[in-house]
Structure 1
Amino acid sequence: MPEQLPPCPECASDLAYEMGALLVCPMCGHEWAPGDADADRDRDSDAAPAIKDAVGNVLADGDSVTIAKDLKVKGAGGGTVKVGTKVNGIRLISDGVGDHDIDAKVPGFGQMQLKSSVVKKVV
């Protein structure tokens, strides 16, 4: 019986194949050395995934961001947060409602949770 190859450390696909000294995943295209898979898995499990803005910049607590698209606000006040609104001092959260991962005080609206996909980091 042939030796079982480890699953891809990126997408966990079990369709990996050998290409020379590397293993290759046909599903995501990731290439890795056979001994590196365990090290990658251990390193990734300890660190939380980085939260990125709409254009791929990594966000951190205290960053300033601008709103990248108009956001309709539901609730008692209603209204729309306009594109370009600057929000200072964001806080990254892991327990937000749905996929909201930023807690911030938006000028004119107060405290609210935002999705990282609708903000751009101010550099």
Structure 2
Amino acid sequence: VGNVLEDGDTVTVIKDLKLRGTSQVVKVGTKVTNIRLVPGDHDIDCKVPGHGQIGLKSQFVKKVTK
């Protein structure tokens, strides 16, 4: 969305994301706290409530501003 992400930020998912290999879906509006930026295909490592540890692409999240 244009905001610079940093380690420890809180982000919100902006699109329903189907988790590969399962029938689970991360819904729009899910808040993810304490992200960690990593190099590679999926540039965010995080723990999503109800789903556990996953990697997200930054194009599918929006930074929560305070």
**Shorter-chain TM-score: which interval?**
over 0.9
Structural mapping, 1:1-123, within 5 Å: 55-75=1-21, 77-94=22-39, 96=40, 99-123=41-65
Secondary structure, aligned partner of 1:58: coil
How many pairs are equivalent? 65
Question: What SS is found at the alignment partner of 1:66?
Answer: strand
Question: Which segments of 5 or more consecutive residues in structure 2 lack a partner in the other structure?
Answer: none
Gaps of 5+ in 1: 1-54
Q: 1:72-92: per-residue Cα shift (whole Å, max 9, x none)?
A: 0112x4311000000000000
Larger relative contact order, structure 1 or 2 (CA cutoff 8 Å, min sep 6): 2
Looking at structure 2, the residues matched to 100 and 78 of structure 1 have their Cα atoms a distance apart, in angstroms, of 20
**Hey, what's the Cα distance between the residues in 2 that align with 1:108 and 1:70?**
15
More helix by share: 1
* 1:25-83 Cα deviation digits (max 9, x unpaired): xxxxxxxxxxxxxxxxxxxxxxxxxxxxxx110000000000010000112x4311000
CA RMSD of aligned residues (A): 0.9
- The 4+ residue runs of structure 1 with deviation greater than 4 A are none
Rg larger in 1 or in 2?
Answer: 1
Q: Name whichever structure is richer in strand by fraction.
A: 2
The residue type equivalent to 2:38 in the other structure is I
Percent identity, aligned pairs only, is 68
SS of the aligned residue for 2:2 comes to coil
